[in-house]
Amino acid sequence: MKKILLYTDTPQVGGAELQTFLLAKFLDKEKFTPILTCSNFSTLDKWCENFEKEDIKVIRLNVRHKHDPRHYKLLKKIIKEEEINVLHAQVWNPASCRFAYSAATSMKIPLITTEHDPFKLSFIKDIFKKRFLKKVSKIITVSKQNAELLKKLYPKQAYKIQVIHNGIDTTWWKSQLLRFTEEDYREIKENEFHAHRNTLIMVCVAELHERKGQKYLIKALKELVEEFPNLKLVLIGDGKDRENLEKLVQQLRLEDHVRFLGKRKDIAPLLKASDIFVLPSKREAFGLVNLEAMMIPLPIVATKVGGIPEVVENGENGILVVPEDEKNMARALKSLIISKKKREKMAENGQKLVLEKFSAKEMAKKYEKIY
């Protein structure tokens, strides 16, 4: 039985943390014992509770911030006391988890890193990163594009790099819609979307941030509503760009065609009541939300950035467009708006792809081989 210490110094929960949880949940417990260690920030409390509900041990570090040198001392102590075999650092930012490299080397155990969102670092940070990567046994990226980027940034470590795509809990997503009824559909359309039954709903689930590109989607909508007045865009999520987006909606006189729902937990039923999923990101490490939308199932329109083309197969389960181009996006959306048959076929293909290649269980199996 190998003990795997999953470590992160993150102060908040995001996509990387969700993947860490799913990895721990789906590891074969007859062969591996996952243990989570993270900071004692209150922002991580609910996330840690999810691990504990799965009977996965959680060890919180009494540190002030991610730069606190006590990370190193405490990691060494945990590795020794828990008899850890492998340290797996979840690198949510390319400069994060710095103390994991030294702790693993000091305790003479293998270190695996998953680079969730790599990018070029500043000169000084890059020097340290190159030094740290020499100590890593295996470097995992969540997309082929990220792997190519890391190979260019750190060519001497290219032989260590392997791609393991993120996955989703397909069983959980199925369970969320087992009791979804026609009445649920009507209620969401009327009370949540403020739309009529025959209104076609385009939905985007993403943080309201400039890098997510929602303004280009709103501008694309402006072109579409002139020809398709019975069209509505639903934006699920919140963020610092909300005020700017709301102003843009007003300027374009789209108040009757855009609905801001804010941050929501009931994503599955909201997606089920929609017709097309759109992710207009300018930059995206992987775009996990596309997989979630495919499970509903919905056809996808997404930008050709990051790992998205490895998930959205153009013309098969969705349509890929160049980022920051509202006219290109409008054309792609129009092709789905006018053809229900096309939407249904792409949705069917997308769900099949997720079940075959992108389940969290399959992701965990690939990590098991590395461990």
* pLDDT single digits (tens) 11-42: 999 889 999 999 999 999 999 999 999 999 99
Exposure string (b/e) for 321-347, b if CB count within 10 Å is 16 or more? bebebbebbbebbeebbeeeeebeebb
Instruction: For the chain, give percent helix, strand, coil, nearest 5.
Output: 45, 20, 35
Q: Which class for 173: exposed (0-12), middle (13-18), buried (19 or more C-beta within 10 A)? A: buried
pLDDT of residue 14: 87
Q: What is the mean pLDDT of residues 55-71?
A: 95
Percent of the chain with pLDDT over 70: 100
Determine which helix (DSSP H) or strand (DSSP E) holds 296, and give its type and residue range: none
Q: Which two tokens stand for residue 238?
A: 């919140």
Residue 285 has pLDDT above 90, yes or no: no
Residue 81 has pLDDT above 90, yes or no: yes
All domains of the chain in start order, with CATH: 2-164 (3.40.50.2000), 170-357 (3.40.50.2000)
Span 354-366, pLDDT tens digits: 999 999 999 999 9
Contacting residues for 247 by C-beta, under 8 A, at least 6 apart: none
Q: What is the mean pLDDT of residues 302-316?
A: 95
Is the preceding peptide bond at 34 cis, omega within 30 degrees of 0?
Answer: no
Residue 290 has pLDDT above 90, yes or no: yes
Identify the DSSP state of 121. P
Residue 329 has pLDDT above 90, yes or no: yes
Q: What is the mean pLDDT of residues 210-221?
A: 97
pLDDT of residue 3: 98
Torsion of CA 81, 83, 86, 88, to 10 degrees: -30
Percent of the chain with pLDDT over 90: 96
Residue 297 has pLDDT above 90, yes or no: yes
Q: What's the mean pLDDT when you consider all of the chain?
A: 96
pLDDT of residue 46: 96
pTM of the predicted protein model = 0.89
- CB contact at 8 A, 270 and 264: yes
